[in-house]
Structure 1
Amino acid sequence: MTSRKLGLQLAACLLNVSEARNKHIVEKIANAALHDQHGHKHPDTSVLNVFSDYDYNRSVITIVSTAEQIGRSVTSACVEGFACIDLSQHDGVHPCLGAIDLIPIYPLSDVRPEECGLVAQVIAEDLAALVPGCSMFLFGHADEKTKKSLAEKRRGLWWFKKNTKADLTQLKADVGANPSKRYGLTGVGASPYVINCNVTLDTKDVAAGRFIANAIRSHADGVQALAFPHNGQVEIACNVESLVNTQCPNLLSESHKFISYSICSESYFYVCPLHLESQIRELARHQGINTVETALVGFTPQECKKTAEYAISHGIGEYWKKRRGIFM
Structure 2
Amino acid sequence: MTEGRKILECVPNFSEGRNEESIERIVAPLKARPGVRLVNYEGDRDYNRLVVTVLGDPQAVKEAILDAVGIATELIDLNHHQGEHLRMGATDVVPLIPIRNMTVGETVELSRELGRAINERYGIPVFLYEDSASSPDRVNLANIRRGQFEGMAEKLLLPEWEPDFGQRKIHPTAGVTAVGARFPLIAYNIDLGTDKLEIANRIARAIRQSGGGFQFIKAGGVELKEKGIVQVTMNITDYRKNPIYRVFETVRMEAARYGVPVIGSEIIGLAPLDALTGSLEHYLGLHGFDDTKIIEHWLMDD
TM-score by length of 2: 0.81
| Alignment counterpart, residue 113 of structure 1, candidates 104, 119, 135 | 104
SS at match of 1:271: coil
Query: How many matched pairs?
Result: 268
Instruction: Pick 1 or 2: higher relative contact order, CA cutoff 8 A, min separation 6.
Output: 1
Where does 1:109-258 land on structure 2 (aligned, <5 Å)?
A: 109-132=100-123, 134-146=124-136, 148-151=138-141, 154-155=142-143, 157-159=145-147, 164-172=148-156, 173-177=163-167, 178-217=169-208, 218-230=212-224, 231-242=227-238
1:95 deviates by 1.1
Higher helix share: 2
SS at match of 1:299: coil
Aligned-residue CA RMSD (Å): 2.4
Q: Is the 8 A contact 2:6 2:100 kept in 1?
A: yes
User: Are 2:49 and 1:58 equivalent residues in the alignment?
Assistant: yes
Whole-Å separation in 1 of the counterparts to 2:137 and 2:181: 10
Whole-Å separation in 1 of the counterparts to 2:92 and 2:271: 21
Unaligned runs of 5+ in 1: 35-40, 243-258, 260-268, 314-328
1:156 deviates by 5.0
* CA offset digits 1:121-165 (Å, max 9, x no partner): 111111111113x121110222234374234xx225425xxxx33
1:47 deviates by 0.9
Residue equivalent to 1:32 = 29
Whole-Å separation in 1 of the counterparts to 2:274 and 2:73: 30
Whole-Å separation in 2 of the counterparts to 1:116 and 1:302: 22
* CA offset digits 1:285-309 (Å, max 9, x no partner): 11211111100112213489xx9xx
Whole-Å separation in 2 of the counterparts to 1:45 and 1:108: 14
| Alignment counterpart, residue 72 of structure 1, candidates 53, 56, 63 | 63
User: Are 2:288 and 1:278 equivalent residues in the alignment?
Assistant: no
Whole-Å separation in 2 of the counterparts to 1:104 and 1:270: 21
Q: Is the 8 A contact 2:5 2:100 kept in 1?
A: yes
Structure 1 residues 302, 116: CA separation in 2 closer, same or farther (over 3 Å shift)? Answer: farther
1:101 deviates by 0.6
* CA offset digits 1:222-251 (Å, max 9, x no partner): 111111111321111111113xxxxxxxxx
User: Are 2:92 and 1:101 equivalent residues in the alignment?
Assistant: yes
Percent of residue pairs identical? 22
Residue equivalent to 1:248 = none
Higher strand share: 1
Unaligned runs of 5+ in 2: 157-162, 276-295
Moved over 6 A (4+): none
Structure 1 residues 78, 270: CA separation in 2 closer, same or farther (over 3 Å shift)? Answer: farther
User: Are 2:1 and 1:13 equivalent residues in the alignment?
Assistant: no
Structure 1 residues 303, 99: CA separation in 2 closer, same or farther (over 3 Å shift)? Answer: farther
Letter in 2 for 1:45: V
Whole-Å separation in 2 of the counterparts to 1:62 and 1:240: 17
